[in-house]
């Protein structure tokens, strides 16, 4: 090796070292530039979004339109024109000289038919639904459980069981669970169960809920002749519709608890499905209310009719009609509503074929 070989070897190593250092610095610089670029792009995106808010997830239609969409199922025409049903009901009521209030509403599109729907009535046992809603709200908050046992005091016991079928009584029990009381109150329209559960109510919560439904109940939920004769409007068909639609759309309770209340209302002791001559596959989630004494005759029935995928809300309120006649009248209204819905549905389905 020549004398200068060490010199060149040493300088070669220095050159390689410096080159590697420069490469490392370049990589660091490149990484820094990339980071800065990302930060600038993020800031630009924030500025753009501030001036252009994100679009709604589902667009401008009702979210239910998208949530329920199934490409394999063809779209149909929802029943929107209820005028023929209203004319039919008007003719029937006028011919029989009946003072009856009726509301029928398509829950899919809100199409509504009304006859004296703003006329006020004493609510009778329709008052049990708001109590059930507030009890279930207490369960949701953990203030009660369905297995909580509540005492049935002598002062709670009602000889007027508020039930068409009086075989289900609560007067001989000293205590019952919340579940048992709610079920007896809704299925059997039991007034003893109502009295026990009503003591669990917060009056401010009750007032707020009734205001939401647009219902004016007297504070103790009992018949007050002076107020009724003074034309106080405790409940109207429209207010009852608010009450049932809030359960159907679950606007107050968690869905499972709205479902629970409606499921109880499919098994009430007034078998309206049978009385109205409806097919066995039609489901009614409904509640009746009745009050009769020597001078007062009141009978109401409101609920939701499930016909296949069709959902119709109805409410019938009567006064000055004998009990059995009022029940029969209600069954006629529900039967005629069912026939109108099914016949119109068939016609619209046939009409839809022209657009396929």
Q: Is 106 part of a structural domain of the chain?
A: yes
Among 30-44, 180-194, 308-322, which stretch is predicted with the lowest mean pLDDT? Answer: 30-44
Are the C-beta atoms of 284 and 333 separated by less than 8 Å? no
Residue reference for tokens 């608010």: 242
Q: Is 72 part of a structural domain of the chain?
A: no
Which of 33, 52, 71 is the last residue before a domain boundary? 52
Q: CATH number of the domain at 309, please.
A: 3.40.710.10
Look at residue 350 and tell me whether its pLDDT is greater than 80: yes
Residue reference for tokens 């070292």: 17
* pLDDT of the residue at 69: 56
Of 338, 294, 298, 287, the residue nearest 321 (C-alpha): 298
Q: Is 194 part of a structural domain of the chain?
A: no
DSSP string, 33-92: HHHHHHHHHHHHHHHHHHHSPPPPTTTTS-HHHHHT--TTS---PPP---HHHHHHHHHH
Residues 266 and 344 both lie in one domain: yes
**Dihedral over Cα of 235, 236, 240, 243: its sign:** negative
* pLDDT of the residue at 169: 59
Q: pLDDT confidence of 38, banded at 50, 70, 90?
A: low
Residues 251 and 312 both lie in one domain: yes
Report the share of the chain in percent with pLDDT over 70.
70
Residues 310 and 263 both lie in one domain: yes
Phi-psi region of 247 (alpha: psi -120 to 50; beta: other; left: phi over 0): alpha
* pLDDT of the residue at 220: 46
CA 106 to chain CA centroid, nearest Å: 14
Residues 45 and 86 both lie in one domain: no
pLDDT in tens, 283-323: 999 999 998 888 889 999 999 999 998 999 999 999 999 99
Domain that holds residue 32: 23-52
Are the C-beta atoms of 263 and 285 separated by less than 8 Å? yes
Q: State the average pLDDT over residues 86-100.
A: 93
Q: How far is CA 254 from CA 139, 229, 240, in A?
A: 11, 38, 20
pLDDT in tens, 124-165: 899 999 999 999 999 999 999 999 999 999 888 887 644 433
Residues 41 and 102 both lie in one domain: no
Q: Is 221 part of a structural domain of the chain?
A: no
**Where would I find the H helices in 163-297?**
178-187, 191-198, 203-213, 225-229, 237-248, 255-265, 272-275
Residues 262 and 348 both lie in one domain: yes
Q: Is 220 part of a structural domain of the chain?
A: no
Q: In total, how many domains does the chain have?
A: 2
Q: Is 94 part of a structural domain of the chain?
A: yes
Residues 38 and 88 both lie in one domain: no
* pLDDT of the residue at 9: 58
Tell me the pTM. Answer: 0.77
Are the C-beta atoms of 248 and 311 separated by less than 8 Å? yes
Beta bridge partners of 76: none
Q: Is 138 part of a structural domain of the chain?
A: no
Joined tokens for residue 192: 């003893």
More confidently predicted of 329 and 41? 329
Residues 248 and 309 both lie in one domain: yes
Among 25-39, 112-126, 300-314, 334-348, which stretch is predicted with the lowest mean pLDDT? Answer: 25-39
Q: State the average pLDDT over residues 42-61.
A: 58
Residues 32 and 118 both lie in one domain: no
100-106 and 310-319 as β-strands: parallel, antiparallel, unpaired?
antiparallel
* pLDDT of the residue at 59: 59
Residues 243 and 334 both lie in one domain: yes
Q: Is 303 part of a structural domain of the chain?
A: yes
């Amino acid at each position: 090796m020549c004398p200068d070989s060490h010199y060149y070897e040493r300088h070669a190593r220095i050159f390689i070292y410096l080159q590697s250092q420069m490469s490392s610095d370049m990589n660091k610089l490149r990484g820094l530039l990339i980071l800065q670029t990302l930060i600038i792009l993020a800031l630009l995106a924030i500025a753009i979004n501030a001036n252009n808010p994100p679009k709604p997830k589902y667009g401008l239609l009702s979210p239910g339109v998208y949530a329920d969409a199934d490409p394999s199922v063809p779209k149909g025409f929802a029943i929107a024109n209820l005028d023929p049903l209203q004319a039919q009901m008007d003719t029937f009521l006028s011919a029989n000289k009946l003072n009856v209030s009726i509301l029928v509403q398509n829950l899919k599109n809100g199409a509504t038919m009304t006859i004296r729907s703003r006329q006020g009535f004493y609510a009778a046992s329709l008052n049990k639904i708001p109590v059930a809603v507030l009890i279930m709200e207490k369960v949701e908050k953990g203030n009660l459980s369905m297995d909580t046992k509540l005492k049935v005091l002598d002062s709670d016991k009602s000889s007027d069981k508020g039930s068409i079928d009086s075989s289900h009584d609560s007067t001989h029990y000293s205590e019952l669970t919340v579940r048992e009381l709610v079920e007896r109150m809704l299925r059997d329209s039991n007034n003893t169960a109502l009295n026990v559960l009503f003591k669990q109510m917060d009056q401010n919560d009750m007032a707020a809920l009734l205001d939401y439904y647009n219902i004016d109940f007297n504070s103790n939920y009992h018949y007050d002749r002076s107020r009724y004769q003074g034309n106080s409007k405790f409940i109207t068909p429209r207010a009852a519709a608010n009450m049932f639609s809030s359960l159907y759309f679950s606007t107050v309770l968690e869905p499972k608890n709205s479902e629970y209340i409606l499921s109880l209302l499919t098994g009430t002791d007034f078998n309206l499905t049978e009385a109205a001559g409806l097919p066995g596959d039609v489901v009614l989630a409904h509640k009746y209310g009745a009050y009769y004494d020597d001078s007062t005759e009141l009978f109401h029935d409101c609920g939701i009719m499930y016909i296949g995928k069709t959902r119709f809300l109805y409410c019938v309120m009567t006064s000055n009609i004998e009990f059995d006649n009022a029940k029969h009248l209600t069954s006629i209204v529900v039967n005629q509503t069912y026939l109108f819905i099914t016949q119109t549905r068939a016609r619209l389905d046939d009409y839809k074929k022209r657009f396929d």
